[in-house]
Amino acid sequence: MNPTNPAPAAKTDTSEASRRESLSVVDNRTGRQYEFAIQNGTIRAGDLRKIKTSEDDFGLMSYDPAFLNTASCTSRITYIDGEKGILRYRGYAIEELAEKSTYLETAYLLMYGQLPNREQLADWVYHITHHTFIHESIKKFLDGFHYDAHPMGMMISAVAALSTFYPDAKHIFDPASRQKQIYRLIGKMPTIAAFAYRHSLGMPYVYPDNDLSYPGNFLNMLLRTTELKFRPNPTLERALDVLFILHADHEQNCSTSAMRGVGSSHADPYSATAAATAALYGPLHGGANEAVLRMLMQIGAKGSVPAYIQRVKAGEEKLMGFGHRVYKNYDPRARIVKRLAYEVFEVMGRNELIDIALECERIALEDEYFVSRKLYPNVDFYTGLIYQSMGFPVTMFPVLFAIPRTSGWVSQWQEMLLDPEQKIARPRQVYLGPELRSYVPVSERSGS
């Protein structure tokens, strides 16, 4: 970037010869012109600091509350085109992975950038399967919670507590240590989730069964009672695996940004994952599918949908499960989840709320209000219906999100650690508070 003074008269020359990968701006306060390099469709925010009115000026910053238009990192993990409704992990379409892959294979892909060969997959599955047990003291730790403790609260605490059991986790720049914590995190999340669930029911914990698949074992730890060997229903086992694939990563969302942000201070991965899980707990993120279910129950009948839509258009309600910060088209995951819902209903019986959901979607997709705002169903519109049909209480919905998102979190965490451009995350602010003022003793303050 080169500041020049004064600014030449603005001319528009778009000939091939004059085209450069750069942006020219004129600071109208000084008349100076600056040229910024454009790389990958971005300018460097740091370059703006060179735009100054005087030597002691701090320089220009960009103001972007909630990071609506700020890339905080480069990443090679997940690609989203929100306008076209495209989601890819490491270049593979989500539709193809959901159809042909398994969650653990997808987790490997996220982590290492390539699909594993047979041997690599067997090794990966073996190590994750052999890190599913949790220390007996973690079990006692979970016992300390009230019977009605929210499972997300239990999960956040238990994951944070894991860091105290694995002090080696702080060696984050030792590849072997990192690898071990990744096995442990992906392996233990379902165990903690299932133990939290069993605790809320007052039922004894079920230990992992290494003969079962990742989702099959999760169902085992949730559901097993007196049978000697738990045999998961294959449709439900596959449905859960597909839901896990769909939720594995979604680039720089709120919880992933929390994982990277906390990880950037070089905290151990358990502490960072606890922070990411906490971010996922919020109803604007991992809690939206619960809100959809409550909305469908509130609507109550297919015939009441038009009246509800009218209230949404009047700004009195939101159509939960519609709209997305990034997708301005049908969320590709929502299409897959909708199909999956029918497969689960085949086994568990039809969830009556599906008719209300379909009617909401039918009316909304034809209505000018939703069409003009590009509001389409997002992944959460149908997941709650599936989880409810499978017998999960609504409090478990965000937990079912946190389990698979762990693979995305640890992949993004490792990418951040190994990125030489990254430093501790530390945004700037625009200070609008008072100027310097003198302290006044309490006896002299007005109103004393």
Active-site annotation, residues: 285, 324, 380
Token pair in block for residue 74? 């480069």
Read off the amino acid at residue 338. Answer: K
Tell me the β-bridge partners of 130: none
Closer CB to ligand ACO, 162 or 288, in the complex:
288
Looking at 84, 146, 231, 318, which residue binds ligand ACO (CB under 6 A)? 318
Shortest Cβ 326–ligand ACO spacing (Å): 8
Residues 380-439 that bind ligand ACO (CB under 6 A): 380
Shortest Cβ 35–ligand ACO spacing (Å): 32
Number of residues that bind ligand ACO (CB under 6 A): 17
To which residue do tokens 């995951």 refer?
333
Residue nearest to ligand ACO (CB): 323
Looking at residue 8, the DSSP 8-state letter turns out to be P
Closer CB to ligand ACO, 44 or 311, in the complex:
311
242 part of the interface to ligand ACO, by CB under 6 A: no
To which residue do tokens 């270049």 refer?
91
Say if CB 92 and CB 245 are below 8 A apart. no
Say if CB 404 and CB 243 are below 8 A apart. yes
Distances (CA, A) of 350 to 205, 330, 355, 385: 30, 24, 10, 10
Shortest Cβ 304–ligand ACO spacing (Å): 17
Closer CB to ligand ACO, 109 or 375, in the complex:
375
Closest CA to 162 of 440, 427, 410: 410
Alpha-carbon gap, residue 374 to 18, rounded angstroms: 37
- Classified as helix, coil or strand, 140 is helix
| Site mask for ligand ACO (CB under 6 A), range 365-384, x = bound | --------x-x--xxx----
3-state helix, strand, coil in the chain (%, to 5): 55, 5, 40
Closer CB to ligand ACO, 197 or 381, in the complex:
381
Closer CB to ligand ACO, 266 or 318, in the complex:
318
DSSP characters over 156-195: HHHHHHHHHH-GGGG-TT-HHHHHHHHHHHHHHHHHHHHH
Looking at 244, 270, 322, 387, which residue binds ligand ACO (CB under 6 A)? 322
Looking at residue 88, the DSSP 8-state letter turns out to be E
| Site mask for ligand ACO (CB under 6 A), range 273-302, x = bound | -----------xx--x--------------
Shortest Cβ 320–ligand ACO spacing (Å): 5
Closest CA to 94 of 333, 330, 287, 318: 333
Looking at 187, 269, 321, 384, which residue binds ligand ACO (CB under 6 A)? 321
248 part of the interface to ligand ACO, by CB under 6 A: no
Closer CB to ligand ACO, 193 or 375, in the complex:
375
Shortest Cβ 123–ligand ACO spacing (Å): 32
Token pair in block for residue 420? 């030489």
Alpha-carbon gap, residue 326 to 324, rounded angstroms: 5
CA distance between the termini of the chain: 56
Say if CB 194 and CB 142 are below 8 A apart. no
Shortest Cβ 287–ligand ACO spacing (Å): 9
312 part of the interface to ligand ACO, by CB under 6 A: yes
Say if CB 143 and CB 135 are below 8 A apart. no
The one segment of 26-34, 98-106, 116-124, 318-326 that binds ligand ACO by CB under 6 A: 318-326
Closer CB to ligand ACO, 239 or 279, in the complex:
279
220 part of the interface to ligand ACO, by CB under 6 A: no
Region of 206 (left: φ > 0; alpha: ψ -120 to 50; beta: rest) is beta
Looking at 320, 334, 399, 416, which residue binds ligand ACO (CB under 6 A)? 320
Binding-site ranges for ligand ACO (CB under 6 A): 284-285, 288, 312, 318-325, 373, 375, 378-380
